[in-house]
Structure 1
Amino acid sequence: MYLHGTSKINNKGHLEIGGVDATALVSEYGTPLYVFDEALVRQRCREFVSAFQASGLKYQVAYASKAFMVMAMCRIVEEEGMSLDVVSDGELYTALQAGFPAERIHFHGNNKTPEEIEMAIDARIGCFVVDNFDELQLLNAIAGEKRQKVNILLRITPGVEAHTHEYISTGQTDSKFGFDLGNGSAFRAIKEASEQAHLQLLGVHSHIGSQIFEVEGFRMAAEKVAAFAVEVRKELSVIFPVINLGGGFGIRYMEGDTPLPVAVYVKAITDAIKENFGANDYPLPEIWVEPGRSIVGDAGTTLYTIGTTKDIPGVRKYIAVNGGMTDNPRPALYESEYEAMLANRATEQPEEVVSIAGKCCESGDMLIWDIQLPKVHVGDVLAVSCTGAYNYAMASNYNRIRRPAVVFVKDGQSDLVVKRETYNDIVGNDVIPERMKQVSKSVSS
């Protein structure tokens, strides 16, 4: 397993993250356990900020909270001078409860409810990213009722398809997101938005996909957005002070993954903006981006305890852990692949090829197929790397399994940032109707 950030093998032969022995974390917090390397998270934040500072352009780096959202993460984002994008009332509430500055919050989503819009306007967030004509009218109406004028970006689909999984490609024409650039709806949306009394149009937003390992897609998106901006200026006399080129910057999950340094992605984007807007004598806009996975993905490790095994001679050996698709649904959703190691026997050489199964009542609950590990024993600690993005965020209570705890580690210290769910948490929102209670009493009698 590739060791990211502060991870290393200590003199006990154990995996150590943030100066804390993984086996000590297991003893204190139990498993499954999400462990975040706080120093690496902060390093990634600073790489984006410093790269944009070097460009000389005005900018905002907004952490895409859908990747991993808890109040402690909001504090890190605020301390590192970044903005925050949210896509639901739950994410917005989390940010506000953490004390995150509302003026640095951007609200995304293709179906914002009236209640979510009201909540965001009342909080006086910095910007809405409008996704469709229905939202445009609804947002203007609610803002009018509240006698406010709200900042907006219009999300457009530039027709650029990133080289990624089809489920996480979002910039192509056939997408549930945004106003299409090719069929004229984006132009109509600009015209309509600029005529609304309670909306302040800042510019446009585009996002071409996730887990992207090259810069050509970002260059193409910048070129298309610039051409669109020039057309809008000519036809409508509207100038965009802000251009948001989204996120999607890739990370290394497996050997063979080839993400670029953050500075390379940012330089490609800012150079393309300077070139394409400068060539048309257009005022250089403020550039916004939204990294999520690239901030937290490789900073996360999930620790499991090995349970049962099943050896099918000549076919496969299954090793079961005490977690699975409830804490990491990505292999089932996207056929995602991960690296892993035995955290308590990290220096031992591989002896067998096994497949890591989860504990859910689903044949598809497999975390890793065919990985080389030392001879596995019941009670060993399995560490799966790069689980910081879309693992806790997508976790569920399927089979009524309790969601894991989350800890941050840094400089030899561990801090609990999310408690492990309890049995009371599992049934806390359940309600038995009175009529069923009465039936139970009559049957028992």
Structure 2
Amino acid sequence: MSYAVLAASLRSALQRQDTDAIRHLVAEMQLADLAEFIQHEQEDTTISLLDYLPMEQRASAFGYLEEETQSALAAEMKDATLAELMHFMDADERADLFKLLDEPRQQGLLRRLAHAEREDIRKLASYEEGTAGALMTSEYVAVPAEADVATALDKVRRTGPNAETIYQIYCVDDEGRLLGTLSLREMILANPKDTLTSLMTEELVVAKVDTPQEEVAKLISRYDLMALPVTNGGERLVGIVTYDDAMDVAEEEATEDMHKGVSVGKLEGSLRTASLFDLYRKRIVWLVLLVFANIFSGAGIAYFEETIEAYIALVFFLPLLVDSGGNAGSQAATLMVRGMATGDVRTRDWAKLLGREIFVAIGLGLTMALAVSVVGVFRAGTEIAMVVAMSMVLIVIMGSLIGMLLPFLLQRLRFDPATASAPLVTSIADGVGVLIYFAIATAVLGLPT
């Protein structure tokens, strides 16, 4: 059955308090789907649903929940129950949950965990958020590089059940330094007496523990990796980042860029659980700043007040023109920001892209000028139509260049290019568009005596 059908059936069973049906439906649902369902339920309902699962499956489902939900549920659990749950969680998810707890709770849990788990949590929790170290898991398969295939496969069988993935095998020396890698497929098909050094690939794609997480996601995407090895300063293998974690990072970064693209600060947690004050606080700063930015547009209008009084028909075309410049700028900025985010565009490319953008903007401006000039002739006559057409060309060109160059400027100043958001580009383009429009109108039409 589909998730929608199972969710509806489970909600109905909960209303009837039919424990047999609830148990059956919980067992039938995928763990990710169950986590999605309980994400929207009350805490007591969520805990009761998780209780229907064996502890190992409960730990897996727990890992799919949002941080706010995990934190709330953990607060309702006894230390013994939470410690047992963490025992079955993946190493990286266990460390993430540990960091959500307050210090007294952390110390209480550490006393209930095995020594190896305590040390693993301390290590993973020590890395700075947003880095490969904080993202990686310590559950991987590493074998001695000098071992033969038969010996290595035996170790894979012994250590594989606890590993995040066994499809990529890492070859290390006696001190744990990463020397090479090979796939499980290559090992299975090889002669059992072959040594790993004769089979492994030494051309490695590796991240350091302090590599930013967005760079980790890019490396995994660029080289189509199942997992990316992570080393410390001494080239010692300390963990791996799997592709599913990289997908989560890519989604998080894309969401953050989209929020910046509409001048919204980074939300801690989900939109559904964010408080009213947090939503207000994340939006108000940029909106107030943009209000003052738009004052320049008003100042431009005030400066050309006499021209406007003499040719009141010009006001009809003002929103059309400035919006066209802002729209063209927003398009250009979005293309540049996305290109930078994916690595398709680099800072050194600005001159080449500037030349191309000029020609594209000219084409756009001329096409839009042709369309609006027809309206201008019927609405206000030939002279006004000429002013509007000339203004349209220059405003679209300037808007496009502002939108294209602003991300490069922000990157050069070490700001996030995503800050070159649509509202920011539009506000700047609006002010420039007002000045261009009325300057051309004053120069072409003049003022009546």
TM-score range, shorter chain: under 0.3
- Greater Rg over alpha carbons, structure: 2
Higher helix share: 2
Higher strand proportion: 1
Greater RCO, 1 or 2 (C-alpha within 8 Å, sep 6+): 1
